[in-house]
A and B are shown apart, each in its own frame.
Chain A
């Protein structure tokens, strides 16, 4: 059994979830220049809504869809109630509002029985059979389905941005708000839609992650922090960057876990390695692989 292909495949699996989570983050940043510290908590909310529904006997696929719709409206609500008021405020205020929001959502989740403990979805029958053997690595069906779902959603969103009128409108607002307004685009609607789409992808990421590795509040909300290395590497305002960055970070952290863990007392390099990459990228190429290069001397 070779270590390298195994690590690469595991990296792509987790990386596609990072990519999906980062997509929502980038959507919000791209349209409204808000950096969302509550993204991990929205992911957790989506996952727990789906889990609560399956507990009540709802079919897994239906529960996932309902959860995605729920976070779609949650995203819209957050934008309307809190972020709309912060337009034009200093960055530190906007950051702190999303940090406050993350704290509030976490508190609300603790009010439900899902705050503490470890939960797992009942694996649907289609996904419980034998998996696939790829280059000597055993992949379970849930993992394959997770990657396919993540990649499918990413492809869908890319198509949406490139071909649909609404997607092009959103890109126009991201590019130049003034110009977009002057041709009659509703910037507010685009902000709301960006948050809604972010909520939807967050729930999808949460459900997929929950299916693959169980549901804990800490684990799901922790993705919200892992998103930072991904988006900085890919470029804060680039959808393609989120996808490439997500998969790259997934691979790199698995490589670190495979090759560096033995060298460090206690191991666990996968938690810290993405952030070392983050610092390196910030110092060498702050706009990331695909981000817009802002020319400015500090």
Chain B
């Protein structure tokens, strides 16, 4: 153990128990507490539209954590995460409207529904690898979208309106909707983040990584790759289901367009831009992609006011995919480890300052 548990300049973990701890120093714990306190005060400081985006980022972060479990940590390429979100969203919506369950029961129910469907969809992963699995999840996404669009029970993909919620006597109305949901989503995100961090340091988390790196070697060490892959799908789609339930309530309605192939691709992009298989990346990725999208929206407004493009060209529909695609490609080519790597480098810099080496 180092002399000080407040600052550390290197890895002083010598025993297995130490290696299992989440926080190496008190400074890390303290910075997290400060960050959480700052986040609690955030809604008082920023505008309503910005708060809306922050809520979206946090919901996406929950789904991206799930995607990181399947794709980042277990190496199972999943192009259907938005469909798992949709499963959660529809289960939540049905529970809230048909069974009149309150939101704190309906959303976990959505998560469970997502987990059940996700495990079922994960079954082909016992037989398929790499691209074939990617194509299978893609097919699931398309089949699911189509099925919802043709189910009278689910309003054929049209809007299912969710009732407004009431927390501690405060009713969410048109005026305070974003604020109320901020204080619901933030604790959920924190709980889910801690849950994930704890799964990672458990037997299951390490077997995810072992299966990703080499499933035959993992099998030789006594890990059952099939069960591990299904567990990864179960956990990943549980997170997606929770995110879907939150998203349904937050948008006040479930519409299938919100959970299309485009959203799946966006979630993958968030995971990759953030850094596949990294904890901070799951938060930085959604932040970057949503900020980029809003930035492009602003830029295209500016450009169409100046009439830079010929009439008939909608700047927003052109610039958004352009910037989105370019940022994915540039990250993959120049910084495959994503924003998480920048985060790590900047932390190292301050840790070692003023000594560069």
Contact = CB atoms under 8 A, between A and B. Distances in A.
Nearest to B312: A113
Contact of A265 (B152, B309, B318, B336): B152
Given A86-B332, A228-B139, A110 B312 contact: no
Interface string B91-129: 000000000000000000000000000000000111111
A116 B326 contact: no
B217 to A, nearest CB: 14
Residue of B140, B225, B317, B325 contacting most chain A CB atoms (<10 Å): B325
B328 interface: yes
Contacts of B204: none
B159 interface: no
Give chain A's interface secondary structure class: helix
A95 B77 contact: yes
Given A82-B333, A85-B333, A100-B329, A266 B215 contact: no
Given A282-B124, A282-B136, A115 B313 contact: yes
A97 B127 contact: no
A111 interface: yes
A93 B272 CA distance: 8
Contact of B333 (A86, A92, A116): A86
Contact of A298 (B127, B143, B332): B127
Nearest to B226: A298
Contacts, number: 156
A99 interface: yes
B318 A107 contact: yes
A101 B330 CA distance: 11
B143 A275 contact: yes
Residue of A99, A115, A225, A278 contacting most chain B CB atoms (<10 Å): A99
B313 A111 contact: yes
Interface in B251-288: 265, 268-269, 272, 276
A91 interface: yes
A277 B165 CA distance: 43
A97 B330 CA distance: 9
B18 to A, nearest CB: 31
Contact of A103 (B75, B136, B138, B322): B322
A111 B318 contact: yes
Interface in A243-298: 264-266, 268, 271-272, 275-276, 278-279, 282-283, 286, 296, 298
B317 A110 contact: yes
B198 interface: no
Contacts of A276: 139, 143
A79 interface: no
B150 interface: yes
A96 B134 CA distance: 11
B324 A115 contact: no
Interface residues of B, number: 56
A166 interface: no
A269 to B, nearest CB: 9
A50 interface: no
Nearest to A267: B150
Given A107-B320, A228-B139, A97 B333 contact: yes
Given A100-B325, A110-B313, A298-B215, A225 B128 contact: no
Contacts of A165: none
Contacts of B124: 279, 282-283
A112 interface: yes
A279 B135 CA distance: 9
Contact of B134 (A82, A95, A106, A283): A95
B71 interface: yes
B310 interface: yes
Interface string A101-145: 111111110111101100000000000000000000000000000
Contacts of B323: 107
Contacts of A282: 124, 127-128, 132, 135-136, 139
A153 B269 CA distance: 36
B149 interface: yes
Given A100-B327, A103-B321, 4 more contacts: A93-B332, A107-B325, A115-B314, A271-B146
27 contacts: A35-B134, A35-B135, A92-B77, A93-B332, A95-B134, A99-B325, A100-B269, A100-B327, A103-B328, A104-B326, A107-B323, A107-B325, A113-B312, A115-B313, A115-B317, A228-B135, A228-B139, A229-B139, A265-B151, A266-B149, A271-B146, A275-B142, A279-B140, A282-B124, A282-B135, A286-B132, A298-B225
